[in-house]
Structure 1
Amino acid sequence: MRAVVTATFALAFYGNPTRPQLVALIAQEEVTSAGGQIEPPGMHMIYLPYSDDVRYPEVHLTSDDAPRATDEQIKKASNLLRRIDLKNFSVCQFSNPALQRHYGILEALALGEDEMPDVKDETLPDEEGLARPGVVKAVEEFKASVYGENYDQEEAEAAAAKAGASKKRKALTDAAAEKSAAHNWAELADTGKLKDMTVVDLKSYLSAHGLPVSGKKEALVSRILTHLGK
């Protein structure tokens, strides 16, 4: 279809009162040949957005600002795509797993079978194929060209540092819980003796219960009383 190039269009209302929609109507040019009409004349209907539907990106990247792949990265990406390319691909090669399961259940019910058939989902990634040495090598080369040679090492070091920090926090929490368990905090709160506890003891209770430990002693006491429901 070919629309008529013009600066004029018709503004129309389409829909119903519960879902109003403004549309633009643009004329379509008739196309004919010696054999007759190829495309009839008509109108293109284009839905127009409301003002709230218009979005303006906060950052406008120019062609100079946008990141660009290097020739080496493009080469590695092309090699990777060749490795994982499906030869003679057709959508008919893969069955819909939901439909196959539905048909399997119907068949089992019709035949009076107790067990439902297992349906292989052929749309899932081919893990065995992706584990081939050639594919793995292509993936590693592409990753190295984008992130650098030491990416895996840096990622492992970051994960190790995160795990170490997590273990340290857990050790501190366990130590605080052990120290906090030496006191009957509910009794201390009822007898008004929380204010006689040291700041270290108060913080041990707060740390053991995952509460903030910042502030002066009065704030710590108030926080403990609130946690105890006093």
Structure 2
Amino acid sequence: MQDATRDSTPDSTPDSAPDSTPDSVPVGEVALDVTETAEALARYRSRAGMWFRVGLTTAAGGVVVELANTARRLEWADLVAEGMGGLALAPLLIGLSALRLGRLMRLRLAARPWTALRAETAPHGPHAAAVVLRDPASGELIPLTLVGLQGRHHAADPRPTGELWWCGDPATGGVLARPGGAELIWARTPGRLTRDRILGAVGRAEDRG
């Protein structure tokens, strides 16, 4: 009776452990097929559109004030119109730049899969923020500069795992994300002088331990 009971009890130990964790790189699909990545891109493009609309609305408001003041030429109204025009410039430029980057991201993410690479943040001082990826096959260091507002640079912070997801071409740029692909930032390949500066800064940081 005891043997029969043991035989009928389901084995609680699975035959094999899962091959990946929730944050592992999906295999056999382009990056945009990852749900978290598609949602992140949609959020990015939505924010870009919001910045552009804010700038456009502010600029339009300045034009309306200027037109309404054509006959009376009130000095304060002229100042308001000029101020609104100046205020519109920053969100317009941010929005246009982000819309362009969103298009580049979509093209990369729709064409290539994510690749998990070892990464570290490069000391950059007053220069553009940068990260350095390590090619797992050759060991080559790939320096990249981040493109985006400073508040979004955390999307390419490899801590605490020391790993980033990469979708792109080191020669032309691509998309970086922390494992999971839930927040995106564009990274571009720097020129030779900037590349040498980044690699030199990383080397000095490693020497200091």
Question: Fold-level match, TM-score > 0.5?
Answer: no
Structure of greater Rg: 1
TM range (shorter): under 0.3
Larger relative strand fraction = 2
Structure with the bigger RCO (C-alpha within 8 Å, sep 6+) is 2
